[in-house]
Chains A and B, each alone.
Chain A
Amino acid sequence: MHEYSIVQALLNQCEDIATQNGAERVLKIYLKIGVMSGVEPYLLKSAFDTFKQETLCAQAELDIQSQPVVIRCKECNEETTLEVFRYICKKCGSNSVEVIDGEDMYLMSLEME
């Protein structure tokens, strides 16, 4: 259940940003979670609801955008959004590809007052 550690880090980040901006509370937190980031959005949500109590995020809502894996072919430059986890260019079939999205998790923006 590493979602708990990730939520703790998220709460710390949000509190820092809220404090820096003189906000009293965080209203909404926008996350982008890659489908290959190793984190389950529903576990993240339940961990968040458990740990947000008594923080500046106590009333905050989590908005999670699930990000599919997108790769770019190093041979032909084509971008492919993966439906199954086969890291292969859909146009030329090359497996010489780089990942451009979908393997990380980001805090995108914060709404606060």
Chain B
Amino acid sequence: MCVDCGCSVRGKEEEHEHHHVHDNPHLNDSKTIEVIKSLLDKNDHEAAHNRAHFDKHNVLGINLMSSPGSGKTTLLEALKDVADFSYSVVEGDLETNKDADRLSAKGIQAVQIQTGSACHLDALMVHKALHDIDLDTIDVCFVENVGNLVCPASYDVGTHLNVVLVSIPEGEDKIAKYPVMFRKADLVLFTKVDLLPYFEYDIQKEKAALRALNPSADILEISTKDIDSLRAFAQWIDFKKKMR
């Protein structure tokens, strides 16, 4: 149950909480207790709660993750011109309002998360932001995570899908170097592909690396200068929305 906001939506109740007490005969008063509980148990519980919020309003939640500058905000701006669905953004640019301002200027509702300089968003931060979004009026809610390929990978923020961006100028081997993040992806976007002619970047090799690590992930190539590539992303979202 939601203890932080008192709202009525319930998350999935914990399933695997079982404490067994074994008295240890060798140490007088000490005992060992078997717990078997995820270290992220509290976050996972909050995440389930966020998903319940989304589900209740029939909204698809999408978590966007990448290195700083891979093109998350630009993609969200450009998507406006091709998307048939309406969307809002929970913005995890923690130090400034710049990304939220850019989105607002495009007529996209964006809620800034104010938590100082965290290295990742967690489910509770997103939860607070969700109360400032009118979920009844939108089809899709994006969470733009903090630009970082490490920390956000460990935190379920309560969205339905993870989209991970990797841009051509970042160079090869990002997938091999940050396997945990790319394992978490439902869709990997190779962004700024208009820059391929200017970089030593073997995109087929990178795709093969991704397939070995995460065989079920979908892959798209994106350039904000190519409207068809943006349409393909919008169609992927439409499809996922219909399948829920």
Q: Range of interface residues on chain A?
A: 35 or more
Q: How many A-B contacts if CB must be within 8 Å?
A: 104
What separation, in Å, do the CA atoms of A77 and B79 have in the docked complex? 42
Instruction: Tell me the count of chain B residues lying within 8 A, CB to CB, of chain A.
Output: 36
Instruction: Find A109's partner among B34, B42, B211 (CB 8 Å cutoff).
Output: B34
Contact with A along B117-139 (1 / 0, CB 8 A): 00110100000000000000000
Q: For the complex formed, measure the closest distance between the CB of A44 and the CB atoms of chain B, giving whole angstroms.
A: 9
A106 touches B212 (CB 8 A): no
B180 touches A111 (CB 8 A): no
Q: Which of A87, A96, A103 has the most CB of B within 10 A?
A: A87
A17 touches B151 (CB 8 A): no
B36 touches A108 (CB 8 A): yes
B154 touches A37 (CB 8 A): yes
B33 touches A109 (CB 8 A): yes
What separation, in Å, do the CA atoms of A31 and B40 have in the docked complex? 12
B43 touches A9 (CB 8 A): yes
Return 27 A-B CB contacts under 8 Å, by A number.
A2-B119, A2-B120, A2-B154, A5-B122, A9-B39, A9-B41, A13-B41, A13-B42, A23-B31, A31-B39, A38-B150, A38-B180, A85-B179, A87-B214, A96-B215, A103-B180, A105-B39, A106-B36, A106-B37, A107-B36, A108-B35, A108-B36, A109-B34, A110-B35, A111-B33, A112-B31, A113-B31
- Taking Cβ atoms with an 8 Å cutoff, the residues of B that contact A are 19, 21, 24, 27, 29-43, 119-120, 122, 150-151, 153-155, 179-181, 183, 211-215
In the complex, besides A38-B154, A85-B213, A113-B30, 7 extra interface pairs with C-beta distance below 8 angstroms are: A9-B40, A36-B183, A38-B180, A87-B212, A107-B39, A108-B35, A111-B24
